[in-house]
Amino acid sequence: MSEKKKFTIEYEIKSSPRILYSFLNEPNGLTQWFADDVSVRDQVYTFTWDGEQQKAKLINAKENKLVRFKWLDDEPQCYFEMEIIQDELTNDVALGVTDFATEDTIAERKLIWDNQIEYLISVLGA
């Protein structure tokens, strides 16, 4: 089995960190752009896409800064993280996404993120 590699992508988002954060860690916010349905119980989020469920544990959260999830059925070193990056001078806000994929699926994973973040931006009206 080929090793998964870490990759990071950054997206410019016109939103306040506070508003953006609610779309990253609240089931209600996540449902609007990330998955068809999201529920949470004891830090374990259940994401549903086309009737398929995947569970991820919230392993790190810093208010208005970042969320890091770990898929329960994934390799131990893998996670996905969404970090809100604010430029101190311009106050511009970006969203950094860190994820893991095998060499041959990285391009595909990046495309999926591009699409998801596009949804997010349209939901934010940014």
Mind listing the domains of the chain with CATH numbers?
A: 4-124 (3.30.530.20)
pLDDT band at 2 (very low <50, low <70, confident <90, very high): confident
- Interval 34-93: pLDDT, tens: 999 999 999 999 999 999 999 999 999 999 999 999 999 998 899 999 999 999 999 999
What is the C-alpha separation between 73 and 79, in angstroms, rounded?
11
Is residue 126's pLDDT more than 90? no
User: 48-64 burial, b for 16+ CB within 10 Å, e for fewer?
Assistant: eeeeeeeebeeeeeeee
pLDDT, mean over the chain = 95
CA distances from 48 to 2, 17, 39, 56, 63 (A): 26, 26, 9, 11, 24
